Structure 1
Amino acid sequence: MSTQPSTPPLSLTERRKLATQLEIARAAAELFTAHGTDGTTAEAIAARAGVALRTFYRYFRTKQDAVGPLLAVGGDRWRALLAAAEPGAALPDALHGAISEALAVPDDTAADGLRQTRGLLRAAVDDPALRAVWYRVNQESEDKLRPVVAELAGAGTGAGAGAGAGPEQLAVRVAAAAATAAIRIALETWAQTDADVTGPGSPADLAARCLRELMGGTGPLTRTETPD
């Protein structure tokens, strides 16, 4: 299993804050899907979430920002799945397995979550501010993914943002960017179709195809041996 240090448990206050943010995010997503961003106000989102307007603005600057936590949930889950992969496993296989499991639809809740993402991505086509939130979430996910990829590949801890351009660090950055782009492109492509949440043309199917295309030219990225 991965030897990365575990994240300290969140305090009760932090868990409550995250729960409130996610509740607001779900309310915003429901209203954006039903009425579009132009037809939705921050006041309406706060009311749907059952919080005061001042609470909404304590966490989010704009109504579009409110969906950020919801869009980030999938990335958090699949990074955790990847971090749990066996060290030394072929990285493309580990990435493919984590992405496939993260985009799997084991129940109605998961299916509804993907359909909600579809609604948001469709709304983002005509809303630059909402698109900016989507791209920001993806960039943050890529940044967080780099140390996970580095750990699996045995490339050390110097592969994060601001690291040098050595072969291992460069390969880690390319792999993290490819994996993140595979999911982003798959979801964006799926959102513009009427394909189901499973089967041909689903997010999992498209992400696997995107990952094969994007990882095809990156070369091997495996744990390196340190000379004695």
Structure 2
Amino acid sequence: MEIFAINFFDRLDDFTCKFLLSQVSNAKRERLLKFYNWEDLQRGLLADLLVRKALIEKVNVSNNEIHFSVNEYGKPYCSFLKNFHFNVSHSGSWVVCAIDSNPIGIDIERISQIDLDISKNYFSKKEHENLLLSNNPFDYFFTLWSLKESYIKFIGKGLSHPLDSFSIVFSNNSKINIEVNAKILENTFFKQYDVDKVYKMAVCCSHPDMPEKPVVYNISDLVDFFSLQEKLKLT
């Protein structure tokens, strides 16, 4: 498993944005250009590019050979590869990506002061009660939310699987578990990452072998990488 992250601090200049947009599929580019906010465009663009970079480096395919499909719940996957699984997430200025040979889910959330009453609609009774007892409820809310979202994305069913149908349970040995109908699910593992003090990030998969920290890129890393791919096409 590998995890990648990128933080964009400002709006891309027109030249850089146009070049990076040229590296995704025509269909993806058309969807991105329909976004009203430049932040949404950049988040979607960088997420796509992180996956493409990983595929080119790990599977040895060319960029124009890469195409993505989605399952019945909307989770993207590589239809031309059986043992390459990926998942992406973005929030605020962070975009993250996880790859593995097994199904995987990743989520990142920016901590903000929201109406905590919405937890009644999305959290189990046990989770909601623990939230009310927390000394830092906003921090705890987004800790739970990122963990629950990473699990939903790991199983690949999206929000068709209700968030309140299971509970996140923190054991005394710091292990994070999923509880369904008072039973702990086996072969489900979590890891949390501190990429930024105002964000919560979590990964969920079927094994405990997860990296200690993500590989963090910047925009110039992506520009240099895809510029090299363009040059290689000419050789």
**Normalised by the size of structure 2, how large is the TM-score?**
0.28
**Normalised by the size of structure 1, how large is the TM-score?**
0.29
Higher-helix-fraction structure: 1
